[in-house]
Amino acid sequence: MGRAKLPRKSTNIDMTAMCDVAFLLLSFFILTTKFKPAEAIAVTTPSSVAAKVAETKDIVLITIDKDGKVFISMDDESKKEVIANTLNTTKNLNLDVQKFKKAGFFGAPFSGLSAFLAIPEEGRKGNALPGIPCKDSSNNEVSTWMGLVLSAYAGQKANIQLKGDNASKYPAFKNVIDAFKKNDILKFQMITNPESVPVGTELWKSAMKGEKRTE
Amino acid sequence: MAEMDTSSGGGHKKGPGVKKSKKLSTRVDLTPMVDLGFLLITFFIFTTTMSQPTAMKLYLPKDADKPEDQNKAKESGVITILLGKDDNVFYYEGQLDNSASNFKSTTFKEIRNVILDKKARTPEKDLVVVLKPSEECTYRNVVDILDEMAINVCKRYALVDISAVESQLVKVSEAAGAAAPAK
């Protein structure tokens, strides 16, 4: 019996379609990546083994730069509006509420806040600004700020984050912690770069056993 | 694809034996291009997820005004770590004695062994690590030592203000260390 002859097919596959897919994905990833915005305050964070990714919503970020100057930033504009109004009524600062809402961060004592808001956003550079005074325990404005933040967030959860520069001295950090304590903020997060757990240490052993880490 | 015909050789030929150049296909092999595309994708995926900052949680104790509210710690289970400037670390166990003979100097590399050694010698519930950063140390030192607590699984540790005596001791030891760096 005669066998049906199978047509010999070429083993070459047309790669064009696959190439299209690959580059489509590539362009998708490139376009969707959020670039790190150029920061007005230059801070290099230390690294830690903490594995929890920092929250990105409802954050109140306190930044300490290398000279120990303190800055505050918030992402929620409605909360900033509340704070601006409170400041205007309690301290008579005559702040521009719209500008206050749009400001990315604050880095001036209350007395100089309206002058700070008068500077255009791109002109506010961390190294040229005075920062929020917190050195003096009697005039710890960070503490006042935290009080304002807490009342603005009344009842809602605010993620308090602290981002310090490697080179900043401990007293600056301590002053901020004192301001937190004064407002009964006893939980906060410190922003760090991820680092792998050193091999052979106890944490590494427990991670190998599959135990969940208690933060 | 441009290709030179080198096989025939022998210069120009004429007549009926002349070879007609083969019609080359216009298809290009895209496999290397696909490879490149996926390579770039993997590169971008890896580099973007890596730079996500992590958060280290820190819980502060509430300041106790009355001495009887304060946490008690067994003297034998306490190790105090002091942070000086230029990444210097000092430590002592229990209470600092008058002549400061138990005041020892170390580095960030060796502090892990010191903590582990102390941990091995004390029952788990008694171990308390007291961290005292001095005025001169940096934020990075503080985070590093807190990280060390996480790495060595020390459950009880406290960030305490440095006392005047200790701060003086750190300064003196640092000055002595600078005079005789070979250690």
Task: State whether residue A10 sits within 8 Å of chain B by CB.
Answer: no
pLDDT band for position B178 (cuts 50, 70, 90): low
Cα-based distances in Å from A213 to A90, B126, B156: 45, 22, 15
What is the rounded distance in angstroms from the CA atom of residue A126 to the CA atom of residue B156?
37
Task: State whether residue A118 sits within 8 Å of chain B by CB.
Answer: no
Q: Are A203 and B152 an interchain contact pair (Cβ–Cβ within 8 Å)?
A: yes
- What single DSSP character describes residue B138? B
pLDDT at residue A73, rounded to an integer: 81
- Between A and B, how many residue pairs show a Cβ–Cβ distance under 8 A? 163
What is the rounded distance in angstroms from the CA atom of residue B130 to the CA atom of residue B156?
9
pLDDT at residue B27, rounded to an integer: 76
What is the chain A residue with the closest CA to B63?
A181
pLDDT band for position B64 (cuts 50, 70, 90): low
Task: State whether residue A211 sits within 8 Å of chain B by CB.
Answer: no
Task: State whether residue A130 sits within 8 Å of chain B by CB.
Answer: no
Q: Are B41 and A22 an interchain contact pair (Cβ–Cβ within 8 Å)?
A: yes
Q: What is the CATH number of domain B72-179?
A: 3.30.420.270
Averaged pLDDT for residues B47-54: 68
Among A46, A189, A197, beta carbon nearest to B139: A46
Averaged pLDDT for residues B48-62: 72
Query: Which helix (H) or strand (E) covers residue B93, if one does?
Result: strand B88-93
**Neighboring chain B residues of A169 at a CB cutoff of 8 Å:** 135-139
What is the chain B residue with the closest CA to A56?
B53
Cα-based distances in Å from B74 to A172, B127, B154: 31, 8, 16
Using the predicted structure, report yes or no on whether residue A191 has a pLDDT greater than 50: yes
Among A30, A46, A54, beta carbon nearest to B144: A46
Q: Are A48 and B34 an interchain contact pair (Cβ–Cβ within 8 Å)?
A: no
Averaged pLDDT for residues A54-81: 80
pLDDT at residue B90, rounded to an integer: 84
What is the rounded distance in angstroms from the CA atom of residue A142 to the CA atom of residue A178?
9
